Amino acid sequence: MASVTRRQPSASAGLAVRPGADGRPTAYAREVLDVVDRIPAGRVMTYGDVAEFMGRGSPRTVGAVLSGHGREVPWQRVVQASGRPAEPYLERALGLLRAEGCPLSGQRVDLVRARWDGRAPGGPARRP
């Protein structure tokens, strides 16, 4: 029988998205929350956009941060790559986005018009 070699955690796994013992966000989580907090009203980023903007992490790690700490920031402004908000909060997110004037098409954000590239508030949307 072959022995099992333990691998080191991947870069994503090592980003520590879960709160510390005191319940506060980790350094990585705080960085995600800071990016999300900068997204202007009526604009969105995808989970992957946030990770790409930061230069580390993955859509899943961004989602894990928002799952644990999203109430601290405008969480509705981060959507799936399809433009659809997170499923458990779909209707709530759509209502908040609609109230902000975010362009929607059915239950999806119109990413061509609403996607924010991380530049100054109100800066141009990223083009696909």
CATH of the domain at 77: 1.10.10.10
Determine if residue 83 is left, alpha or beta; phi over 0 gives left, psi from -120 to 50 gives alpha, anything else beta.
Answer: left
pLDDT given for residue 10 in this prediction? 42
Q: Which parts of the chain register pLDDT below 50?
A: 5-14, 124-128
Within-domain flag for 13: no
pLDDT given for residue 119 in this prediction? 82
What's the predicted TM-score (pTM) here?
Answer: 0.79
Within-domain flag for 125: no
Within-domain flag for 34: yes
State the alpha helices, DSSP H only, in 12-55.
27-38, 47-54
Neighbours of 127 (CB within 10 A): 7
- Domain, as residue range, for 86: 24-114
pLDDT given for residue 2 in this prediction? 53
Q: Return the biggest CA–CA distance within the chain.
A: 61
Within-domain flag for 3: no
